Structure 1
Amino acid sequence: TAGGIHGKVAGLQDKVVTIEIATGVKVKINRASIVSQQGQEIE
């Protein structure tokens, strides 16, 4: 995000994205705040 939050997309709505930033911790942000997308992490 523009604020530097990194996480995994957990849900999508029209103008809102839910991001999981830690196990069981989800935040909702405006789609307009998404600055870039990175590839999948390899665990």
Structure 2
Amino acid sequence: MTNLSLNITKRLSGIWHAWHFQFALGLVVTALCGSLCIACLHPLT
């Protein structure tokens, strides 16, 4: 694997982890606060 492809893979992995963290946090807050929080935590959905 070249250095460029390794760099891209690390960046995509970081993006995926950030998205997964935000999604999981949104689910937890939604479960605690109710459906009103969905609009605040998930603006793209």
Global fold match (TM > 0.5): no
**Higher RCO (CA-CA < 8 Å; seq separation 6+):** 1
- The structure with the greater share of residues assigned to strand is 1
- Name the larger-Rg structure: 2
- The structure with the greater share of residues assigned to helix is 2
Band the TM-score falls in, shorter-chain normalisation: under 0.3
TM, length-normalised to structure 2: 0.20
